[in-house]
Structure 1
Amino acid sequence: MFSSLNIFRIVALLEGVSYLLLLFIATPIKYLVNDPQYVKLLGMPHGLLFVAYVALAVLFKKQFSWNNKTFLIVLLAAIIPFGTFYIDRKYLKPLSENG
């Protein structure tokens, strides 16, 4: 079924997509059209996905044998647009391919 690694990869993907939607769609609409409904709509799911991403990263640090530098990169990726996509490709996908 779903391994814990696959769940982490899905959360990373969803967190990244929600962040991009919030940053590049909802926020401009809020300030350019004065319509905050999209920020309100996307804000809570993005916040929950962000917390889930960070929590999973903390839980899996030891399991994946990440050193402090790698762990910091994984955490910082959550606040950089497209960062979680990079983490998935660079760190998580190779782990899932190795089994």
Structure 2
Amino acid sequence: MGGALTRYRVIAWIVGVVLIVLVVIGMPLKYLFDNAVVVETVGPAHGFLYMVYLVAAFDLARRADWPLKRMLGVMLAGTVPFVSFYAERRATAWLKKPAERTPEPVAG
């Protein structure tokens, strides 16, 4: 499951950064300065990367045996600026919690 988590974390950060560039830079340029070059280039890239994000989130949720509500919440996190970063941290915490609770073997 470590590989699935790493893949998800990387794509969550990439999708988050691309979405922020699109919303914070591209949209104001398009609507305030009538320059759509950033939206026209970054928009399709975000769309493709979001599809990769969905696959990675589904794979992680399937391996971690998450309930449907949690899986859908994590999948939708890539559509709202800054939320994919939060979802990535939460997903990492959800997966690392059980490992921290496992008792260590007693030497003897």
TM-score normalised according to structure 2 size: 0.79
- Check whether the contact 1:6–1:96 (CA below 8 A) recurs between aligned residues: no
For the residues of structure 2 that align with 1:30 and 1:36, how far apart are their CA atoms?
A: 4
- Check whether the contact 2:4–2:59 (CA below 8 A) recurs between aligned residues: no
Larger Rg: 2
For the residues of structure 1 that align with 2:20 and 2:6, how far apart are their CA atoms?
A: 21
For the residues of structure 2 that align with 1:58 and 1:78, how far apart are their CA atoms?
A: 13
**What is the aligned partner in structure 2 of residue 42 from structure 1?**
42
- Check whether the contact 1:22–1:39 (CA below 8 A) recurs between aligned residues: yes
Runs of 4+ in 1 over 2 A off after TM superposition: 92-98
> Which residues of structure 1 form unaligned runs of 5+?
none
**What is the aligned partner in structure 1 of residue 92 from structure 2?**
92
Q: Percent identity?
A: 31
**Number of equivalences:** 98
TM-score normalised according to structure 1 size: 0.86
> Which residues of structure 2 form unaligned runs of 5+?
100-108
**For the structure 1 residues 86 and 38, does the alpha-carbon distance in structure 2 shift closer, same or farther, using more than 3 Å as the test?**
same
How far apart are residue 93 of structure 1 and its match?
Answer: 5.1
